[in-house]
Structure formats: C-alpha cells, structure tokens
Homo-oligomer: A and B are copies of this chain.
Amino acid sequence: MEARIDKIKQQLQAQGYKLTPQREATVFVLLANEDDHLSAEDVFLLVKEKAPEIGLATVYRTLELLHELHVVEKLNFGDGVARYDLRADNSKHHHHHLICTECGSVDEIKEDWLLPLEERLEKEYGFAVDDHRLDFQGICHRCKP
C-alpha cells in the first residue's frame, strides 16, 4: 500500500506537478476504497473527514489530473455522475464490470478476457485497439434466488 502511494506520488512529481496535502489525501482515499466506484462527491466527503478544508473543485481537479496521468479510470454507469476507479498496478486495461440491476452493486473482473477479440478486431476491421470497456448488466450471485 505504501508502495502504491509512493508510486503515484512519483508519477505526479515526475510530470512536474506539486504534491499538495489535498492531492495526497485524495490519493489516499482512492487507495483505501479501491473496490468501490466513487463519484467526485463521494471522494470529496471522504477526504473532508481527514482534511476538512478541501474544496469540491479541488477534488474535481485532482481526479481529472489523475485521470490524465492514467492513474484512475473515469467511468459512467449512466446514473448521471462520473465515477473514478484506481487503475490496477500492472494492467493497462480497464476492468470488466458486473453491474447488478437488482441491488446496484458493481463487481469487477480483474482478468482480461478480450485479447482474442482484439486480435480479431485488428484483422477483420483494421482497428488498432488501445483500450476497451466491458460491462455486463444482470443479476449478481447475491441476489439470485
């Protein structure tokens, strides 16, 4: 965990960005809630607990910055807010998501199931894939009868 934080800090500094307490607190919150898909507002409230003086605009700016640095994914599940998800350390691709229409939970599949499809895409459509997004809607194992 320390290592992850340090790495992200380094990425910020390597690009010439300052490491402010607000940014540090935001990264910390993201790391501590890695399995959730927090909205900017969610992050704001969590950061506020430790650093009450932070402003919502700063959170938006920080999340946008981390998104540009490819540290977080920015996702939209259609509920009107953007959600932010820490990118896995190793993989360059998005997670796949299992969205339960019963309880609203969002689980993740960390494996990459799409490599064969991407090769086919390249051959049949001449499309060079950089990234992808795969979400499933349905009923999760917890809600099933």
Interface set of A (CB-CB < 8 Å, partner B): 74, 76, 78, 98, 100-101, 107, 109, 113-114, 117-118, 120-121, 125-141, 144
Q: How many Å lie between the Cα of A127 and that of B97 in the bound state? A: 11
In the complex, are the beta carbons of A134 and B133 less than 8 A apart? yes
CB-CB under 8 A from A78, the residues of chain B are 74, 76
- Chain B neighbourhood of A128, CB < 8 A: 138-139, 144
Residues of B within 8 A of A141 (CB): 125-127
Q: How many copies does the complex hold?
A: 2
CA distance A71 to B125 in the complex (A): 27
A130 CB, nearest partner CB in chain B, Å: 4
Nearest Cβ on chain B to A102's Cβ, whole angstroms: 10
Partner of A138, one of B107, B130, B144: B130
> Which residues of the other chain, B, contact A113 by a CB distance below 8 angstroms?
117, 120
Residue on B with the closest CB to A126? B141
CA distance A137 to B139 in the complex (A): 27
Chain B residues, CB < 8 A from A140: 126-127
Distance between A77 CB and nearest chain B CB, rounded to angstroms: 9
Tell me, in angstroms, the Cα distance from A46 to B100 when the chains sit together. Answer: 36
